Amino acid sequence: MSSYNNILYIFGSGRKKKILENNLDSSEFFYGYFHMKSKFKNIDSIEMLPNEFDLKKHQLFLEFIDKVLRKLTNLPFYIHLMLSKENLTKIKKSDLIISTNDRLAISAMPMILYSKLRSVNKNFFVIVMGLFSKKRDRVIVSYLQKFLLNFIIKKINFFIFLGKGEYQLANEMFPKFKDKFRFIPFGINLNFWSSRKSYDPEKNGYLLFVGNDGNRDFDQVVEICNNLKNIKIKIITSHEISNKINNENVEVIYGNWHSTAMSDQKLKEYYENAILTFLPIKETYQPSGQSVALQSMSLGIPVAITQTKGFWDIDKFSHMENIVFVENNSTENWTTTINKLLSDNNLLSNISKKSISTVKKYYNQDDFFLKMEELI
């Protein structure tokens, strides 16, 4: 059993509200928080302020510093949204801190370093989501980014990678720190993301796109929508793209997991009535599209996704078996692939069945939680 007395999770904005409202269907996005609460006595959390928060004078100054640091390093500094007396107090009394993404880790780093001056027995785990795949397109950015990453890695006990692509990249970039790197496959709440409804490509009525992160290829989404005039398409996103789409069969629906704009139950219904979930992704080592793909597959809705370097676990997937990979991410490849799939109901049904079995076998959140517990 762990010797940690106080474990602190760092979340992005919106988690506290979901906890208070008991809105926990997508429990996978709490990364083991509730599992750990059942295993350890003192578990607490802090979260980053939302981007639209009204800033005070000292936060405005820090925002300027953050912008300079982001410009010089291309690393996600948002200290002005993290630094507070309450957060610092909780960090100081914690002996294990788990940051649920690298943006939060970097933004909380000044508080953590300060608290470590008073306690050498403070440990820090970070769940990685793109930290090692940031652009280094200028000499000064490349130098400063690598220098800072070296410094940050030394201060962190374990980096938990949700995708093999970035895990392998980190090992290549920083081989001397490989003992700090762990690949733990992300898992979803199978109790919620399962369906009593049988998949029927003849009855399901539309293509579905879901997502907001910066690695979604929204330009490609628009092109696909404008090229598939005779197919109903639903787009769930917080990005404003409706004015770029010239297709009356496309419906853009506002959705953002961090807010209450759409419940998990409503999203589940959108999945269940789709023929196919399509996910154009920019080239990246980050496992973009992972949660949406797994949720859709678990409900038996086939997924077509761009094959990127960051695809999370390539060994477990086969093209046209349990997933559909689209290479080169061109509009022509996407429209050809979608039209081919929609013309073959047997193929879609077979992919649906194998999708469900793949997620059940390899991507259950309980497995993720147990591996996190072992690491602790």
| pLDDT one-digit tens code per residue, 274-296 | 999 999 999 999 999 999 999 99
Q: Are residues 331 and 234 in the same domain?
A: yes
Q: Are residues 166 and 214 in the same domain?
A: no
Single-letter amino acid code for the residue at 67: K
For residue 222, being part of any structural domain is answered with yes
pLDDT at 75: 95
Q: Are residues 236 and 177 in the same domain?
A: no
Q: Are residues 54 and 143 in the same domain?
A: yes
pLDDT at 82: 94
Q: Are residues 79 and 163 in the same domain?
A: yes
Q: Are residues 154 and 228 in the same domain?
A: no
| 182 DSSP assignment | E
In order of 23, 108, 115, the CA distances from 16 in angstroms are 10, 18, 24
Q: Which residues pair with 160 in a beta bridge?
A: 127, 182
pLDDT at 134: 87
Instruction: Name the token pair of 217.
Output: 């290829």
Given 148, 183, 218, the domain boundary residue is 183
In order of 12, 37, 100, 106, 180, the CA distances from 369 in angstroms are 19, 11, 13, 23, 19
pLDDT at 2: 60
Distance CA 204, CA 186 (A): 28
Instruction: Name the token pair of 160.
Output: 């938990």
Q: Are residues 44 and 161 in the same domain?
A: yes
Q: Are residues 81 and 130 in the same domain?
A: yes
The domain tally of the chain equals 2
Q: Are residues 264 and 343 in the same domain?
A: yes
Cβ-contact 253, 185 below 8 angstroms: no
Q: Quick check: helix, strand or coil at residue 350?
A: helix
Contacts of 331 (CB under 8 A, 6+ apart): 220, 223, 224, 227
Q: By residue range, what is the domain housing residue 309? A: 206-362
pLDDT tens for the chain, 376 residues: list them: 467 889 999 999 888 888 887 778 889 999 999 999 988 889 999 999 887 677 787 888 999 999 999 999 999 999 999 999 999 999 999 999 999 999 999 999 999 999 888 766 889 999 999 999 888 888 999 999 999 999 999 999 999 999 999 999 999 999 999 999 999 999 999 999 998 889 999 998 899 999 999 999 999 999 999 999 999 999 999 999 999 999 999 999 999 887 777 889 999 999 999 999 999 999 999 999 999 999 999 999 999 999 999 999 999 999 999 999 999 899 999 999 999 999 999 999 999 999 999 999 999 999 999 999 999 8
Distance CA 260, CA 164 (A): 32
We report the CATH number of the domain holding residue 278 as 3.40.50.2000
| Sheet containing strand 250-254, strands side by side | 250-254, 233-237, 206-210, 274-279, 303-306, 324-326
For residue 188, being part of any structural domain is answered with no
Q: Are residues 23 and 162 in the same domain?
A: yes
pLDDT at 256: 85
Given 121, 150, 183, the domain boundary residue is 183
Q: Are residues 22 and 155 in the same domain?
A: yes
Given 183, 215, 244, the domain boundary residue is 183
Q: Are residues 124 and 228 in the same domain?
A: no
For residue 344, being part of any structural domain is answered with yes
pLDDT at 120: 67
We report the CATH number of the domain holding residue 69 as 3.40.50
For residue 374, being part of any structural domain is answered with no
For residue 141, being part of any structural domain is answered with yes
For residue 192, being part of any structural domain is answered with no
pLDDT at 57: 77
* Interior angle at CA 21, CA 18 and CA 23, nearest 5: 55
For residue 221, being part of any structural domain is answered with yes
Cβ-contact 316, 358 below 8 angstroms: yes
Distance CA 123, CA 137 (A): 33
For residue 198, being part of any structural domain is answered with no
pLDDT at 118: 72
